[in-house]
Amino acid sequence: MQLVLEKRAERSNTIAMVSPLIAIGLTIVTMVILFAILGKNPLLALHAYFIAPLTDGYSLQEIAVKATPLVMIAIGLSLCYLANAWNIGAEGQFLVGAVAGSWIAVKTQGTDAGAWVLPAMFVLAAAGGALYALIPAICKVKFGASEILTSLMLVYVADLFLDYLVRGPWRDPHGFNFPTTAEFDPVATVPLLIEGGRLHLGSIIALVVVAAAAILLGRTIKGFEIRVVGAAPRAARFGGFNADQLIILTFAVSGALAGLAGIIEVAGPVGHLQPGISPGYGFTAIIVAFLGRLNPLGILIAGLFLALTFIGGEQAQIAMKIPLDVTKVFQGILLFYVLACDSLILYRFKLVFPNRQVARGTA
Amino acid sequence: MLDPTPNGQPSGESPLLRTIGLTKRYGDFLANDSIDIDIWPKEIHALLGENGAGKSTLVKAIYGLIQPSAGEIRWQGQPIALSGPSQARGRGIGMVFQHFSLFDNLTVAENVALGLDGRESFKDMSARLEQVSKTYGLPLDPRREVWQLSVGERQRIEIVRALMQDPKFLILDEPTAVLTPQEADQLFIVLERLKAEGRAILYISHKLDEVKRLCDTATILRGGKKIQTCNPRLETAASLARMMVGSEIKEVKAAAGRRATVPRLVVNDLSLAPAEAHGVRLEHISFELKGGEILGIAGVAGNGQDELFAALSGERLSNDPGTVVIEGIAAGHLSITQRRKLGAAFVPEERLGHGTAPRMKLSENALLTGHAASGMVHHGFIDTAATLKTVDRATETFDVRKAKRDPEAASLSGGNLQKFIVGREILRNPAVLVVSQPTWGVDAGAAAVIRQALLDLATAGAAVLVTSQDLDELAEIADRIAVMFHGRLSAPLATGEATREKLGLLMGGSSLETKEAAHAVGA
Ligand SMILES: Nc1ncnc2c1ncn2[C@@H]1O[C@H](COP(=O)(O)OP(=O)(O)OP(=O)(O)O)[C@@H](O)[C@H]1O
Ligand SMILES: [Mg+2]
């Protein structure tokens, strides 16, 4: 008996649907082993991770709040990845967007500026994120520089730039020397959906982004262009589609979405600009994009699931003293399994018995 | 006779390979329906059938690439189950595929090494490669990178790679579809020699003359079923075709009254440096193609035909707009989409990956070239019904056989995909059609349909440029034939005057005048 990997003649759509579920299953099995090694009760840990957060309203809102930036960023990334453009630097674009949008909030602080402030912050954040994403895109198109490396390295530039601002020029004078801006004015804050709750307007924006991406990819020629450039570059050129332009476009869109997510996070749940506004949203969103099969609806579900692991991780830390970093381990293992299971879409496992009796046709 | 046909085999001896009731199902679709075939040593056995008859499916099953749904394969009398090609190779079964599987950026030797299962060192392997290629008269330089090679040379790699395994049984899936007549003749010499060495060969081809010349036995498939096994030498090409199709094949007829009108495609002194380091430089190419006219371009592959196609289609742009004029408009600087909007349509020779995105549905592949000018897109939104309609119309007009209404392009048989691609472009009613190798791998019946469609398109007033290595095809449909050699295009000859000898001279690079002059001197 022998296990072989056989190429499928046509990609399996069933597997394409269930492969993320297989990946999640395998991840959970691995986590159970990990918890056992850590000396924690695996069942209690799984409960803390996946069940407890679903049982109270506050955590549910918190999941939606955490899912908002993940989904927005992942949608943008999925456009890049479908077009074979590898934007790994969404974290940096998220931070630059947060900084660009915050600039208006900081400058209008205490000036009773009107309701234009928040929309202006959104626009500036999107523009900032897009411009920042264009750096690796243009380097790729003009000089052939690997966008994977350049976009990733720019994350650290953005991180340090933000750090400089909140420790220097933008530091809150009444902030006891903490590296943070002053709390934003109400006009510079994302409105809540439920009075006294956590859910805010950003979640609605994320849903709109998901719907827009679904229409773009499924119904429009631009979406087709993105898919065909990624799937068959030579045929795409024959179809009249320009891969270089598409790298620029998808990077810009994905940077804009990451930037928008950045300002929504800062002007929403956080309320001011400070270092550490992101627990790695830009990187986790890569997992969300792949777990969601680069499909908008899938990304929405995957975003909620990964948000659950963030919240669950916090609860597990409080309840069972499981280190918060285990959440990152979980996410990493998940990405590994997702990519591994993806090969099942184009290949299948087959058990082969030498000399098996085969059904006989009529001779 | 030293030429044992199955009937000539001593009774009691078993065939080298035998399939019994071999069946392959895709969903409800039977690609192979209970096929029995016997292959004897020292035999060249033809496998014939229309596009989609199931030939490639059958040989893939024999080679272990796909698993049969039912039935049995016996090797030297023993039932075998092959889990993959390496097991088939291990038993002595070799195969040369319809679509090549080579890595462009690797050298010949590296490609061969990747396809071998042995453990010999790279150096030994390279030496053996050179030796095998010399023995069989298939010259290859192991150090060249594949992308620099012509189609014929690439196929040589595949053949040599298969021969290096010393197979007892060699399968060739449409090996001559992409070869020039000269290259094909060379191949036949090799095959005769392999046969003389006692090997068995299974040979898939749509060229019935070849089959009659070369093969001892022929098995005919139709609609996934075996129709008959016969001796092709006792049949005529027409009777073989009848068994394949089940009816007579229509003759291609040029409608009377076809007349050249105004120039629709003009190329003025087009010179273009190659895009790749070892590509062919186009030099001073000029021709004028009128509506109602078909111009054929003959030539050995790799003499600049691909580069010319790219320059005409707009996949490569020229700095001088006037070098390519479509419908009276200077278009050398226009993109392929803009050229399509001017009424041009293009069919490249490579169907998977160039003419179509293999993993996308036919409707999406209709959109690939139809988005510019066929009413498939409104305000940026795709009209899915319109794309499906194109698929249905192409299916109906060109009899594209497929397992469902809108499958992925890669799941179609080679010839059926070709019919779809040609249909997709012809149905747009182009003013100018530039087509490369329109009937590569297409069965005789379908080839007639495609050629007829090209003629009808010209009759309706379009200008048609056909690049083909099949001189008979050009003679059948073209009004004039020009020859491409080393990036230059000869002056076109009227088809009536374009004898094989003249074309052969041009294809070999000598110009007609000097040759005639030489004759005159010699006489
Ligand atoms: N993976 C697949 N899924 C569904 N249908 C398939 C698949 N592979 C082949 N088929 C169908 O099986 C039939 C036989 O295909 P096959 O490639 O064997 O034809 P063929 O005789 O080699 O034709 P050609 O001369 O055009 O190469 C075709 O109708 C094709 O559409
Ligand atoms: Mg075939």
CATH code of residue B490: 3.40.50.300
Residue B92 is predicted with a pLDDT of 92
Residues A19-51 have pLDDT tens digits of: 888 899 999 999 999 999 988 899 998 998 899
Is the residue at B132 inside a domain? Answer: yes
Nearest to B450 by CA among B395, B394, B398: B398
- Enter the tokens of residue B452: 């007829």
Whether residue A36 is contained in a domain is answered as: no
Token digits for B392?
A: 């249905």
Residues B132 and B218 in one domain: yes
Q: What percent of chain A has pLDDT over 70?
A: 92
Residue B309 sits at the chain A interface (C-beta within 8 Å)? no
For residue B315, the chain A residues in CB contact (below 8 A) are 237-238
pLDDT at A343: 76
| DSSP 8-state code for residue A269 | I
Kindly state if the Cβ of B225 falls inside 6 Å of ligand 1.
no
Chain A residues with CB under 8 Å of B30 CB are: none
Query: Above 60 in pLDDT, residue B199?
Result: yes
Note the pLDDT of residue A359.
37
Indicate if B87 and B165 belong to the same structural domain. yes
Inter-chain contacts counted by CB atoms under 8 A, chains A and B? 116
Residues B492-521 pLDDT 10s: 999 999 888 888 888 877 776 654 444 444
User: How many Å is the Cα radius of gyration of chain B?
Assistant: 24
Give which of B164, B140, B161, B136 is closest to B150, Cα–Cα: B140
Q: Is residue B257 assigned to a domain?
A: no
By the CB criterion, residues less than 5 angstroms from ion ligand 2 are: B 56, 98, 413-414
Q: Is residue B436 one of the residues assigned to a domain?
A: yes
Of A121-135, A249-263, B198-212, B507-521, give the lowest mean pLDDT range.
B507-521
Minimum Cα–Cα distance from B57: chain A residue: A9
Q: Report which of residues B111 and A215 the model is more confident about.
A: A215
d(CA A10, CA B348): 24
Question: Do B472 and B515 sit in the same domain of this protein?
Answer: yes
Q: Does B323 touch chain A (CB under 8 A)?
A: no
pLDDT at position B233:
92
Same domain, residue pair B241 and B271? no
Nearest chain A Cα to B407, which residue? A10
Residue B273 sits in the same domain as residue B218 = no
Write out the residue range of the structural domain in which residue B295 sits. Answer: 263-353+430-522
* A235 in any annotated domain: yes
Yes or no, beta carbons of B72 and A237 under 8 Å apart? no
**Closest C-alpha to ligand 1, atom 17:** B413
Pairwise CA distance, residues A40 & A73, whole Å: 34
What pLDDT is attached to residue A210?
A: 98
Q: Is residue A216 part of a domain?
A: yes
**Residue B107 belongs to some domain of the structure:** yes
Q: Name the residue among A10, A235, A361 with its Cβ closest to that of B356.
A: A235
- Please count the structural domains in chain B: 2
Provide the domain count of chain A. Answer: 1
Query: Of the ranges A66-75, A287-296, A345-354, which one carries the lowest mean pLDDT score?
Result: A345-354
Q: Higher-confidence residue: B128 or B365?
A: B365
> Is any Cβ of chain B less than 8 angstroms from the Cβ of A14?
no
In a domain? residue B133: yes
Closest to B203 (Cα-Cα) out of B239, B177, B233: B177
- B285 and B212 both lie in a single domain: no
Residue B418 near ligand 1, beta carbon < 6 Å:
no
Of the listed ranges B38-42, B101-105, B114-118, the least confidently predicted one is: B114-118
Residue A160 lies in a domain: yes
If asked whether residues B168 and B311 sit together in one domain, one would say no
- Tell me how far apart the alpha carbons of residues A77 and A259 are, in angstroms, rounded to a whole number: 12
Q: What per-residue confidence (pLDDT) applies to A218?
A: 94
Structural domain contains residue B375 = no
Strand partners, B80: B73
3 state SS of A254: helix
- Give Dmax over CA atoms of chain A in angstroms: 93
First to last CA, chain B: 46
**B26: Cβ below 6 Å to ligand 1?**
yes
What pLDDT score was predicted for residue A350? 62
pLDDT at A357: 36
Residue B389 lies in a domain: no
- Hunting for tokens 């679709």 — which residue is that? B29
Burial B301-335 (b: 16+ CB within 10 A, else e): bbbbbbbbbbbbbbbbbbeeeebbbbbeeebbebb
The reported pLDDT for the residue numbered B276 is 75
* B368 contacts chain A (CB < 8 A): yes
Pair B325, B442 in one domain: yes
For residues B106 and B114, the answer to whether their CB atoms sit within 8 Å is: yes
How would residue B5 be classed by pLDDT, with cut points 50, 70 and 90?
very low
- The structure tokens 């003649």 sit at A9
Q: What is the pLDDT of residues A138-155, one digit of tens each?
A: 999 999 999 999 999 999
State how far the Cα of B439 lies from the Cα of B468, in Å rounded to an integer.
9
DSSP string, A58-126: HHHHHHHHHHHHHHHHHHHHHHHHHTT-----HHHHHHHHHHHHHHHHHHTTTS---TTHHHHHHHHHH
Of B370, B435, B426, B368, whose CA–CA distance to A237 is shortest?
B368
**pLDDT given for residue A355 in this prediction:** 41
Q: What does the pLDDT look like over B432-479, one tens digit per residue? A: 999 999 988 888 888 888 999 999 999 999 999 999 988 889 999 999
* A182: in domain: yes
Among A242-251, B254-263, B291-300, where is mean pLDDT lowest? B254-263
What is the dihedral angle through the alpha carbons of B506, B330, B332, B507, rounded to the nearest 10 degrees? -10
- The token duo for A342 is 């993806």
Amino acid residing at B221: L
pLDDT, position B6: 46
Count CB atoms within 10 A of the CB of residue B190: 17
The SS3 assignment for A7 reads strand
State the ligand closest to the CA atom of B206. Answer: 1
pLDDT of residue A109: 87
* Non-local CB neighbours of B386 within 8 Å, separated by 6+ positions: B374, B375, B376
Q: Is B228 helix (H, G, I), strand (E, B) or coil?
A: strand
Chain A from 233 to 252: CB within 8 A of any B CB: 234-240
Same-domain status, B237 and B270: no
Report the candidate in A243, A285, A280, A275 with the shortest Cα–Cα distance to residue A77: A285
Average pLDDT estimate for A77-105: 97
Q: A64: closest CA among A187, A205, A254, A232? A: A205
Q: Is B53 in the pocket of ligand 1 (CB under 6 A)?
A: yes
* Residue B415 alpha carbon, nearest atom of ligand 1: 26
R_g (Cα) of chain A, nearest Å: 23
Q: Write phi, then psi, for B344 (nearest 5 degrees).
A: -90, 150
Name which of A62, A142, A195 is nearest A134 in CA terms. A142
A23, part of any domain: no
C-alpha span between B399 and B419 (Å, rounded): 8
Give the other-Cβ count within 10 Å of B234's Cβ. Answer: 8
* ipTM confidence: 0.84
Residue B9 inside a domain? The answer is: no
B117 shares its domain with B221: yes
| Residue B56 alpha carbon to ligand 2 centre in Å | 4
- Tell me A198's DSSP state: S
Contacts of residue B196, defined as CB under 8 A and 6 or more positions apart, other chains included, come to B42
**Which residues neighbour A307 within 8 Å (Cβ) at sequence distance 6 or greater?**
A62, A63, A64, A65, A66, A67, A70
Burial of A349 from C-beta contacts in 10 A (0-12 / 13-18 / 19+) = exposed
Q: Are residues B197 and B293 in the same domain?
A: no
Answer with the one of B245, B279, B303 that is the final residue of a domain.
Answer: B245
Answer yes or no: is A303 within a domain.
Answer: yes
DSSP states of B346-413: EE-S-TBTTTB-TTSBHHHHHHHHHTTTSS-EETTEE-HHHHHHHHHHHHHHHT---SSSS-BGGGS-
pLDDT tens, position by position, B300-317:
777 899 999 999 999 999
Q: Return residues 9-68 of B near A (CB < 8 Å).
A: 20-23, 26, 34, 36, 66-68
Mark whether B174 and B73 lie in a shared domain.
yes
Range of the domain at A263: 70-307
Please tell me the predicted confidence (pLDDT) of residue B248. Answer: 67
Task: Identify the residue among A358, A360, A362 best suited for mutation to test binding to B, counting B beta carbons within 10 A and taking the highest.
Answer: A358
Average pLDDT of the residues in B244-264: 77
Q: What is the C-alpha separation between B436 and B465, in angstroms, rounded?
A: 8
Sheet with B282-290, strands from edge to edge, namely B282-290, B263-272, B324-326, B329-330
Q: How far apart are CA A210 and CA A119, in angstroms?
A: 20
Q: Are A34 and A326 in contact (CB under 8 A)?
A: yes
Beta strands across the sheet bearing B70-75: B29-39, B17-26, B70-75, B78-80
CA nearest to B376 within chain A: A221
CA dist., res. A181 & res. A169, Å (int): 9
> Is the CB of residue B388 below 6 angstroms from any atom belonging to ligand 1?
no
CB neighbours of B523 closer than 8 A, spacing ≥ 6?
none
Mean pLDDT value across chain A: 90
Would the pLDDT of A198 be above 80? yes
pLDDT digits (tens, 9 = 90+) for B39-81: 999 999 999 998 889 999 999 999 998 889 999 999 998 899 8
Which has more pLDDT, B5 or B85? B85
Contact A291, A157 (CB under 8 A): no
